[in-house]
Structure 1
Amino acid sequence: MVTSAMLGEGKSTVSGNLAVEYAKEGKQVLLVDADLRRATIHKTFGLKNHKGLSSWLANQMDDVNDAIHPVIGNL
């Protein structure tokens, strides 16, 4: 988990870079952007923000796996 007390301290950048590096090392990585107000990870990886954690939490999808969007091998 990556967290901080203030906005703009680079949490999304650090977690995105960390996830990519772990994936490059062959580890299976699931990066979850749990910021329900200001989600930004989708922008980093060029994804649309139409299905994700909040969709599953709101029962808009039955299977949480539908919220997983592979971007590179292992990530």
Structure 2
Amino acid sequence: MADRSLILKCIQAVSASQTTPTPDESLFDAGLLDSFSLVDLATQLESHFGVQIPDSDLSPRKFDTIERIDAYISSRAK
């Protein structure tokens, strides 16, 4: 399990909104992420968690919630 508070900091770093989403809230529906900020978020996550996120993985479905981001980062860290 990745550090969810660090995931949230990464989201807030690329979002104009400082809203704190719930772990299962859609970041795209809440207006916290869009297709442009998703790329920035991937860069933040790579830097903070030391993982590589291929462009082919950059889809809203994989990064829609903090829970999904956590699961993705955890799977890449193995």
The structure with higher relative contact order (CA 8 Å, sep 6+) is 2
Q: Give the number of the structure whose alpha-carbon radius of gyration is greater.
A: 1
Instruction: Verify same fold: TM over 0.5.
Output: no
More helix by share: 2
> Normalising by structure 2, what TM-score?
0.31
> Normalising by structure 1, what TM-score?
0.32
